[in-house]
Structure 1
Amino acid sequence: MSPQPQAAVGAPMSRVDGHLKVTGAAKYAADHDIDGIVHAVIVDSGVGRGRITGLDTREAQGRPGVLKVITHRNAPRLAYRNDPDSSNPPGALLKAFQDDRIRFYGQPVAVVVATSLEAAEHAASLVKVDYDAQQPSTELSDAPPGVPRSYERGDADAALSSAAVCLQMTYRTARNHHNAMEPHATIAHWDGDRLTVWDKSQWVLGARNEYAAAFGIPVESVRVISPFVGGAFGNSMRVWVHSVVAALAAREVGRPVKLALSRRQLYFGVGFRPRYEYRIRLGSDRRGRLTAMVHDLRSETSSYETHGEATLAFGQMLYNTPHVRQTHHSVPLDVNTPTWMRGPGFSTAAFAIESAVDELAYELRVDPIELRLRNEPQEDPSNRRPFSTRRLRECLTVGAREFGWARRDARPRSTRHGDWLIGTGMASGVYPTARAATQAWVGLEADGTALVRSASSDMGPGTYTSMTQLAADALGLRVCDVTFRLGDSTMPPAPAHGGSMTMASVGSAVQDGCDKLRRQAVRLAVDDEDSPLFGVDAGEIVVRSGRLHVKDDLTRGETYRQLLTRNKRARLEANGSYTPGKARFSMYAYGVTFAEVAVDRRLGLVRVRRMLGVYDAGRIISPKLADSQALGGMVGGIGSALLEHTVTDFRDGRIVNANLTDYLLPVNADIPDLRAIYLEGQDQEAGPLGVKGLGEVVHVGVAPAIANAVFNATGRRIRELPIRAQALL
């Protein structure tokens, strides 16, 4: 068939849900008004490890409005059956009030349910808990590591011993918390044995399965609803224990229950990006061609689950290094389980590896961009697969030109502006192109409007908008005539909304369903003797603004409305699907971040003055949304590089700065001129849409670019994030 005109895809469209959000009409998890709703407040443990020896809930239970106080002493035993499809880390899931053990500071030990939030909060403060406390392990050096993950090719030790240049460095990253605008909240309602949950979720189907497993009921008896997510960045990919507590409380009191975590509770009630210690040894020849790299990593995980992320892949495939050995030890500590956070694994690895490569460039007096170009592989060194597309070389050259890299003075402390030392740096970034099986339903009404549904999510990248754009062009409708709905587990199945896979997966299913429906309408028209299109070759018909017409004859055609009305059809509908094929290529999105910083030579303060990102992300469906992703990724990277870190009191495991006053985040005053460039093109091997994913890669290279710029400005190599003023004094 003739290709459809592209009017919406590629246009800088504003968000279709933007008006709902800015006017407060969008309903997030805690905003739903359910008849008879009551409120729950969690009581957190006051020690970091031990056992509960005493619980006094009498005063709390006696307060006006209190319906019930639930602890491990009166909570029912839950099924917690095994979920074979769960993506949770291996280990023993933290269960809601099923024993007296304390595994980390802030673990829920009780929940108070009351008719008002104020009554629940006051009663929660009256619950008295006694503990047999033990000294928690909270530092990476406190506990022996678990069984490592490893990778090896070649003989790294022999190659290092014979290398003309050999460097050894250790890099450290702090724990980072997601701190999304919307706190985690859950509303749970039972109707007999059927559970409905309004939740903050990036994966409503995964959440449905987890609730069903916890309560031992069929998945068909659970419905999870999450139409809007006010930011998540990874920590809403699973069901945390507070959500099960909400559902448990709702069943116990026989009323719908709302449970919202406080800002403080978010620091230990849900996951976070774990701390890392990353030791690198690298070898090269005198021209800077890498010969060997050895990576030794240690990261924190909880004592009951082993969180792992793809930290090793970056060092396996980015550069043409013949000899590589990697070992990653997860260290079990008395903390809540970490989880994915934007660019998981790759962001951490990029800071260490891209800083190390910059150090090598300085050691050899080779330009950092030139050094990277000399080590570009022709195929993926980790698996010998060809790259679907790899335009990192073009990202480097385009970025250097647009950023003005040629004007850079490579000598540290050589550029000044008053008391400010000026420096520039850059770093590469990659992130894998993930895809997963997805389905979508499409319906075309007799009035010429369309509805598309899929159980995806939208935590901020603009799923509502991008899917509407795709559907509008595939159906030949105006954007205002298409409605896309998501966030309900009763909709056609979709994968988790993370890993930059939504556009490639859900978008492909939406495209497939809309193409099927359009072809169905075209076939109806060419077979209808009363249609102006009767007898026309179906392949010669396109649809534009809701009107079917011959491609080269605008006068011969009719609207969807006319076609369906005449044929007495209230609706046409189709089911779209997408299943990725077997991977034959190495598929990644690529990017290069350039940064210019100013460092106060007396105070050590670092200010980012400008930043540029250049990305090879395949086809860009929505440029305005892409900019939102890219600039947001840069802002997050500035936070990781210069501000964000968790302070833990080693005596009891308490997070000292569990608030937005002491946990520093970038604000408007911290953000400079940011710019993003996207290389034109498509990656047809990655899927029918030609997209590669953008949301993660834009964060990956930001922190090392800033750290490398700080070195250029000051001559001090900072190997620990965040970069603090005292390290530069």
Structure 2
Amino acid sequence: MTEQAIDTAERPGALARATQGVLGAPIARVEGPLKVTGAATYAYEHAPRGTLYAAIVGAPVARGRVTGIDDAAARALPGVVAVIHDDPRIPAGEGNSRAMPSQGTDRIFHHGQPVAIVVAETQAAAREAATLVTVIAEASDGRFDMTGEPVQRDHKLGFLLAIDIGDVDAALAEAAVTFDATYETPVHFPAALEPHASTIWWDGEVLTVRSSNQVIGGARDTIARAMGLPPERVRVLAPYVGGGFGGKTGVGPEVVMAAIAAEKLRRPVKIALPRRDTAYLVHHRSATRQRVRIACDTDGRIAAFAHEGVAAQNDDSAFLEPIPFGSIPLYAGAARRFRTDLVRLDLPPTGAVRAPGEAIGTFAVECAMDELAERLGLDPVELRRRNEPERDPTSGKPFSTRRMLECYDEGARRFGWPARVPAPGSVREGDWLIGIGMAASLRGNFTVEASATVRLEADGRAAVECDMTDIGTGTYTILAQTVAEILGLSPGAVDVRIGDTNYPRSAGSGGSFGAGSAASAAALACEDVVAELARRMNAAPGDLSLHDGRVTADAREVPLAELVRGQPIVGHGRSKPGAQAKKTSQASHGAQFCEVAVNAITGEVRVRRMLGVFDVGRVLNRATAANQIVGGMVWGISYALGEAAVVDTRSGRFVNPDFGEYHVAVNADVPQIECHFVEEIDDAANQAGAKGVGELGISGAGAAVVNAIYNATGIRTREVPVTLDTLLAGLPAA
């Protein structure tokens, strides 16, 4: 097995020698035909014989204790097989895993917390019966609003420790120019199109879970712990997942409760969360309050930078939104302060939603930079250029690669950014006020331990196996391209087998680390195969050329299938972070530009065009990478103009937990969006040379929209979403 801590600056690897020319090409998704024809089945579509259907019964109050459950009416309903609430594993799980409360407790941490599961012969019967179960609870006064609740500074939550370098307060006191403003963001739901669903059955002594899940290796471990089983007796399958956005990174309570039902009844059990239940059983992004302070000279050179925020979590969970995560390496400034404080609320758990930290932290910081640029009389792009650091300004480490300046320049050129930005409110087309805005993007890069197996079959085809998932991100395609590139094959000659915990364990889909980590493991597995081919050619691996199914060395050319000699050649690869991950500061970067039109009478906002230029290391597939970036930019439009989950502060319930009133961007809201790349292979990042893509597009996107709205109207808003009521009073017609 080829196993190494990734450090390709010292060992270039097989990709550096590859000549097939398919990696990076915008080839169509290899699983695309299965999806568009309906042949790709998802978790809820799997239907073993004798399947039962389940529904969750939730707590009727947001804080208190369960004192009793009356299930007589539910049990009497025709078709109901069981109502389960007396198993000590219900509520089941661990507080760190999605929305699962602590195991074996009667304490209520939030409204809708699962306390029972109903199982019936049909989905309709299960859901009707769930409404007939009466949960008797002893209610306590709840905490539902961050305003007025005590703020905890000395807490142990989250992975991002507070950073305090230099004397920020002194720098602010002495600076020629200072900026100090507070920004607010609301609760966001990870609103994936495919519901959170699982089909669960026993295959002999193995509990098999077909689930809509992003990280199935971790899911297997969680389910095994909750069920009291060794991990080898749990198998999780997720060959196709219809989106996740962080909401499917963990295992929810409905999965374990359905597994308990399948165990007790010895029949397959299927469950899918209705959209309104998803708000309570899947974690959300916390609302935040953020203070940005900047000290600089009259030329805009930053001396001190502080980004401090407050986020919420309930009493049973350990995640905390890392608000300033994207700000830490973004701009220069000797004195620096970054921290996230905690407020405890009696709401469902907050958790990692797409680009935790950066998605909403960049809104505050990038709007602040625009406000500061205006105060200084500088172009917004120029202010950012003047504060581009040469090294990581917080850690002092060199950047692995960083092409932020090229992103600014290329983005401005392609967008047509003017030499002088028009004054706010000065450009008008009839009833429409026109404005432009921009923002920087940053997403930290990680390589996570991952394994893969590559088989070169007797017929010259190849297969790659790992438990990686494809949540619409293009995993099938980029793994096929990676193996094809190294082994000199067409992508169509590579079979990709993923989404099964029986395969080697990978990073899973999340944190924008999946593609780079899994592709690196596959590349290392290919090195095993290439080494064996070299041995059979009596040559060194570095002297081999693999192209179009043929192997060349020392002027000899042999068909690949002939070298295999009737028996598969198997390679194993395992990637993990290496020395360069500790020695360098790694991130993906970008610049986003936006033009909006705001109706001067009604306040309606239309995004007319949007363009971004991004630095993501090696682009593994230009089509799937652009798809991910554009999807993030659409989400930025969405949270700038519409998305906000509203909490009823009397009860702890969400007012709008469905797509009818939780307003996500739809086609009519989205213009043609352009995505461009400035490509530089990042050899320090991983074997593939690729950095994170999936979460970069949302970072800065919302700020670019809000900055454009200000330029159009002269109305500065420090909260999102920017709705009609926030603009009407300040419009010219008013």
How much does 1:104 deviate? 1.0
Q: Distance in 1 between matches of 2:148 and 2:253?
A: 26
1:527-566 superposed matches below 5 A: 539-550=542-553, 556-564=556-564
Q: Distance in 2 between matches of 1:362 and 1:430?
A: 22
Q: Of 332, 344, 366, which aligns to 1:354?
A: 366
Equivalent AA in structure 1 for residue 45 of structure 2? D
SS at match of 1:686: coil
Task: Tell me whether 1:43 sits opposite 2:51 in the alignment.
Answer: no
Q: Distance in 1 between matches of 2:570 and 2:108?
A: 53
Deviations, residues 549-598 of structure 1 (Å, cap 9, x unaligned): 347x5xx533233333xx3x332211122122121111111011111111
Q: Distance in 2 between matches of 1:326 and 1:413?
A: 34
How much does 1:252 deviate? 1.8
How much does 1:357 deviate? 0.9
1:18-57 superposed matches below 5 A: 18-57=32-71
How much does 1:77 deviate? 4.5
Q: Distance in 2 between matches of 1:191 and 1:547?
A: 43
Deviations, residues 154-197 of structure 1 (Å, cap 9, x unaligned): 10111111111122211000111111110101222234653111
Deviations, residues 312-341 of structure 1 (Å, cap 9, x unaligned): 333322111111223311211111111111
Deviations, residues 118-151 of structure 1 (Å, cap 9, x unaligned): 2212211221223222332111124323334522
- Residue equivalent to 1:394: 406
Equivalent AA in structure 2 for residue 560 of structure 1? L
- Residue equivalent to 1:123: 129
Deviations, residues 363-395 of structure 1 (Å, cap 9, x unaligned): 111111111111111111111101111111111
Q: Percent identity?
A: 40
Equivalent AA in structure 2 for residue 232 of structure 1? G
- Cα distance 1:727–1:376, how it changes in 2: closer, same or farther (>3 A)? same
User: Does the 8 A contact of 2:91 with 2:102 survive in 1?
Assistant: no
How much does 1:271 deviate? 1.0
Q: Distance in 2 between matches of 1:28 and 1:228?
A: 6
How much does 1:541 deviate? 3.5
- Residue equivalent to 2:350: 338
User: Does the 8 A contact of 1:164 with 1:284 survive in 2?
Assistant: yes
Q: Of 75, 100, 111, which aligns to 1:105?
A: 111
How much does 1:485 deviate? 1.2
- Cα distance 1:488–1:363, how it changes in 2: closer, same or farther (>3 A)? same
Task: Tell me whether 1:702 sits opposite 2:670 in the alignment.
Answer: no
User: Does the 8 A contact of 1:334 with 1:653 survive in 2?
Assistant: yes
User: Does the 8 A contact of 1:138 with 1:335 survive in 2?
Assistant: yes
Q: Distance in 1 between matches of 2:722 and 2:682?
A: 37
How much does 1:253 deviate? 1.5
Q: Which moved more, 1:140-149 or 1:391-400?
A: 140-149
Task: Tell me whether 1:575 sits opposite 2:572 in the alignment.
Answer: yes
Q: How many residues align?
A: 706
1:295-310 superposed matches below 5 A: 295-310=307-322
Q: Of 304, 307, 315, which aligns to 1:292?
A: 304
- Cα distance 1:539–1:150, how it changes in 2: closer, same or farther (>3 A)? closer
Q: Distance in 2 between matches of 1:79 and 1:419?
A: 56
Q: Which moved more, 1:542-551 or 1:119-128?
A: 542-551
User: Does the 8 A contact of 1:81 with 1:216 survive in 2?
Assistant: no
User: Does the 8 A contact of 1:78 with 1:215 survive in 2?
Assistant: no
Q: Distance in 1 between matches of 2:73 and 2:576?
A: 57
1:210-609 superposed matches below 5 A: 210-406=222-418, 409-524=421-536, 526=537, 539-550=542-553, 556-564=556-564, 567=565, 569-582=566-579, 583-609=582-608
- Residue equivalent to 1:152: 164
User: Does the 8 A contact of 2:441 with 2:699 survive in 1?
Assistant: yes
Q: Distance in 2 between matches of 1:209 and 1:154?
A: 43
User: Does the 8 A contact of 2:97 with 2:252 survive in 1?
Assistant: no
How much does 1:342 deviate? 1.5
How much does 1:264 deviate? 0.9
Q: Which moved more, 1:363-372 or 1:576-585?
A: 576-585
Q: Distance in 2 between matches of 1:408 and 1:19?
A: 48
Equivalent AA in structure 1 for residue 101 of structure 2? L
- Residue equivalent to 2:10: none
SS at match of 2:698: helix
Q: Distance in 2 between matches of 1:377 and 1:539?
A: 38
- Cα distance 1:54–1:360, how it changes in 2: closer, same or farther (>3 A)? same
- Residue equivalent to 2:23: 9
Equivalent AA in structure 1 for residue 544 of structure 2? I
Equivalent AA in structure 1 for residue 434 of structure 2? I
- Residue equivalent to 2:6: none
User: Does the 8 A contact of 1:475 with 1:515 survive in 2?
Assistant: no
Task: Tell me whether 1:133 sits opposite 2:136 in the alignment.
Answer: no
How much does 1:539 deviate? 4.6
How much does 1:411 deviate? 0.8
- TM-score when scaled to structure 2? 0.93
User: Does the 8 A contact of 1:79 with 1:216 survive in 2?
Assistant: no
Q: Distance in 2 between matches of 1:653 and 1:160?
A: 39
User: Does the 8 A contact of 2:20 with 2:546 survive in 1?
Assistant: no
Q: Distance in 2 between matches of 1:208 and 1:385?
A: 37
Q: Which moved more, 1:593-602 or 1:572-581?
A: 572-581
User: Does the 8 A contact of 1:307 with 1:330 survive in 2?
Assistant: no
How much does 1:281 deviate? 2.2
Q: Which moved more, 1:120-129 or 1:439-448?
A: 120-129
Deviations, residues 649-701 of structure 1 (Å, cap 9, x unaligned): 11111111111111111111111121011002211111222211211111101
SS at match of 1:646: coil
Deviations, residues 94-128 of structure 1 (Å, cap 9, x unaligned): 146x3332211111122111122122122112212
Q: Which moved more, 1:318-327 or 1:421-430?
A: 318-327
- Cα distance 1:78–1:707, how it changes in 2: closer, same or farther (>3 A)? closer
- Cα distance 1:326–1:576, how it changes in 2: closer, same or farther (>3 A)? closer
- Residue equivalent to 1:648: 647
SS at match of 1:8: coil
SS at match of 1:406: coil
User: Does the 8 A contact of 2:92 with 2:256 survive in 1?
Assistant: no
Deviations, residues 461-517 of structure 1 (Å, cap 9, x unaligned): 100001101111111112111111111111111113111112221111101111321
Q: Distance in 2 between matches of 1:302 and 1:572?
A: 52
Q: Distance in 1 between matches of 2:517 and 2:534?
A: 26
- Cα distance 1:511–1:225, how it changes in 2: closer, same or farther (>3 A)? same
- TM-score when scaled to structure 1? 0.93
Q: Of 98, 101, 108, which aligns to 1:94?
A: 101
Deviations, residues 254-302 of structure 1 (Å, cap 9, x unaligned): 2111111001111111011111000122221111111223333111112
How much does 1:630 deviate? 1.4
- Residue equivalent to 1:633: 632
Q: Distance in 2 between matches of 1:473 and 1:20?
A: 24
SS at match of 1:266: helix
Q: Distance in 2 between matches of 1:658 and 1:81?
A: 24
Equivalent AA in structure 2 for residue 32 of structure 1? H
User: Does the 8 A contact of 1:78 with 1:216 survive in 2?
Assistant: no
Q: Distance in 1 between matches of 2:619 and 2:100?
A: 39
Structure 2: gaps of 5 or more residues: 1-13, 156-160, 729-734
Equivalent AA in structure 2 for residue 25 of structure 1? A
Deviations, residues 610-669 of structure 1 (Å, cap 9, x unaligned): 111111111111111111111111111111111100111111111111111111111111
Deviations, residues 339-364 of structure 1 (Å, cap 9, x unaligned): 11111101211111111111000011
Q: Distance in 2 between matches of 1:79 and 1:180?
A: 24
